[in-house]
Amino acid sequence: GRAGRAWGYAKMAADCDPAEEKYAVLLRDWAKLGGAHGERASTPQELMAAAQEADSRGDTEKAVELLRRLLEQSPRSAAAYNYLAVLLATKLKQFRPAYDAAAKAVEIDPGNVGYQSNMMKILARVDSDEKRGKDGDDGKGLLGRLLRR
pLDDT of 128 reads 81
What are the backbone angles phi and psi of residue 20, rounded to the nearest 5°? -80, 105
Q: How far is residue 93's CA from residue 61's CA, in Å, rounded to a whole number?
A: 12
Higher confidence at residue 148 or residue 58? 58
The pLDDT of 38-66, averaged and rounded, is 88
pLDDT of 83 reads 97
The tens digit of pLDDT for each residue in 112-125 reads 999 999 999 999 99
143 residue type, one letter? L
pTM exceeding 0.75: no
Q: What is the mean pLDDT of the chain?
A: 83
The pLDDT of 54-75, averaged and rounded, is 94
DSSP the chain: -HHHHHHHHHHHHHHH-TT-HHHHHHHHHHHHHTTT-GGG--SHHHHHHHHHHHHHTT-HHHHHHHHHHHHHH-TT-HHHHHHHHHHHHHTS--HHHHHHHHHHHHHH-TT-HHHHHHHHHHHHHHHHHHHHH-TT--S-HHHHHHTT-
Which residues neighbour 123 within 8 Å (Cβ) at sequence distance 6 or greater?
A: 99, 102, 142, 143, 146
